[in-house]
Amino acid sequence: MPETGPDFSLIIADNEAAAGRAFETGNFVHAYLLVHALVESLLRAFLGNQLEAANFCTLVDGYKRWLQQEKYPYPTFANELVEFNRRRNRIVHQLWRKGFSFTNRQAEPAARAAVVMYGLLIEWLADFQPEIVQLGFEYDNM
């Protein structure tokens, strides 16, 4: 019997639902970190890069190379993804410097913007690879 891998659609749906619950309960740090993980997974799926060693910056660089190969004149989402990752790093550092309560209050606008960017990125990448949506990436679950 052939081995099958994990059902990514279930994992994605679970993480999207968890991000939605985090928003509902006001846990914006958790929501941001979950959306960051979802964006990373989306990039991995789009680029076909399932290597654990590839970090977020490597994935963004791969996305930029893909845009160049496609001769796309504008690096759509590239700068936003870099800033998105920097914001994640600042949020994590703030947890240690200022604590959860302060950081969570400060993270609300960033978390809300992250969800919007996630939805737009899904739609953009699905224009090139419609099977992205078939993997289970859905903005509607949040």
Token duo for residue 87 = 């914001």
Give the global pTM.
0.90
**Is residue 53 a part of any domain in this protein?**
yes
The domain containing residue 47 runs over which residues? 8-141
**Angstrom distance (rounded) from CA 96 to CA 74:** 37
- Say how many Å lie between the first and final Cα of the chain, rounded: 36
pLDDT in tens, 11-67: 999 999 999 999 999 999 999 999 999 999 999 999 986 666 789 999 999 999 999
**Is residue 80 a part of any domain in this protein?**
yes
User: Within 13 Å and on the Cβ side, how many CA atoms surround 99?
Assistant: 2
Nearest to residue 113, comparing CAs of 21, 6, 8, 39? 39
Query: What pLDDT score was predicted for residue 48?
Result: 87
**Is residue 115 a part of any domain in this protein?**
yes
Number of domains in the chain: 1
Indicate if the pLDDT at residue 76 is higher than 90: no
**Is residue 3 a part of any domain in this protein?**
no
**Is residue 2 a part of any domain in this protein?**
no
**Is residue 64 a part of any domain in this protein?**
yes
**Is residue 119 a part of any domain in this protein?**
yes
**Angstrom distance (rounded) from CA 23 to CA 108:** 9
107, 28 contact by CB (below 8 A):
yes
**Is residue 50 a part of any domain in this protein?**
yes
